[in-house]
Amino acid sequence: MSRGRKSDARTNAVILKIGGSVLTDKNRESTARPEQIRRIAAEIGAARASRLVLVHGAGSFGHHQAKEFGLKEGLNGQSIRGIMPTHNAVRSLSDMIIGELYACGVYAAPVHPLSSCTLKNGRIAHICMDVIEQMLASGIVPVLHGDVAMDTARGIDVLSGDQLVVYLAEALGAEKAGIGTNVDGVYGGVRTDVSGEGTKDFKVIHAITPSNLGEVKESLSGSGGVDVTGGMYGKIMELAELAKAGIPSFVFNAEKPGNVARFLRGEPIEGTVISGD
């Protein structure tokens, strides 16, 4: 990555992503988990974090639509019809989150990637950082999310919240990034039972650094574990890049009450830290 870390004195931005599986019922199209959204908004409000950028996943507000219209195939006669159904779905989730944040005294505002970001072959080429920086300078929490986005090579593609986290953290020279998921951290180890019931054989890896990254990669991409850890592998590869730029990230369970607030306050938190040393 070439964006590098800013040497700006205001380098205390924090990027927090909450995964779609925490905020929505992934098995039921466009079904939110309002009690989770409310609790997380309350924790963000109570932590009084300054210079926070919130990113959220789409969960069942977007993945179903993106699949139905084949958005990963690039722009064609079928996928073009799916742009607004997909965007509208994830935007409605974003509206709910922003509404709850407001109710908790957090002034948040949307920065929808469809309208503010371009990709090239699925990777972020540009984000309107001036809008985000101005919001941060004004005490407003920018809220971004996984979205369908314009792609200069493919026409359109699906942008994940994880990619947004890494880009924003680097562009803002963030202090740290947090990935709130529905598991206790990054699991590694040998999975002996491939029936789908064997996750108990995994253990949380508490720290990922350049010295154990190779080993972690191997255990995450191990044949039996692909269905469980496929998403996590991509995340870790992105976060390891961020660690190289000197920005640590934390993967933790955002379903456990108190964890989001603990992360924002810089308190010890159960999970996985990915850092450069």
Site for ligand IPE (CB under 6 A): which residue of 15, 19, 219, 249? 19
Cβ-based nearer residue to ligand IPE, 112 or 193:
112
Provide, rounded to whole angstroms, the least separation between the CB of residue 153 and ligand IPE. Answer: 19
What are φ and ψ of residue 239, in 5° steps?
-70, -30
Cβ-based nearer residue to ligand IPE, 237 or 246:
237
What CA dihedral angle connects 64, 154, 234 and 208, to 10 degrees?
-140
Site string for ligand IPE, 39-58 (x = CB under 6 A): ------------------xx
Site for ligand IPE (CB under 6 A): which residue of 54, 90, 156, 220? 90
In Å, how far are 133, 177, 227, 242 from 167, measured between CA atoms?
A: 14, 11, 26, 9
By the rule CB under 6 A, 240 interacts with ligand IPE = no
By the rule CB under 6 A, 66 interacts with ligand IPE = yes
By the rule CB under 6 A, 20 interacts with ligand IPE = yes
By the rule CB under 6 A, 151 interacts with ligand IPE = no
Site for ligand IPE (CB under 6 A): which residue of 146, 173, 178, 271? 146
In Å, how far are 144, 148, 180, 259, 270 from 262, measured between CA atoms?
A: 22, 32, 12, 5, 10
Which residues sit at the interface with ligand IPE, rule CB under 6 A? Answer: 19-20, 57-59, 62-63, 66, 86, 90, 146-148, 158, 160-162
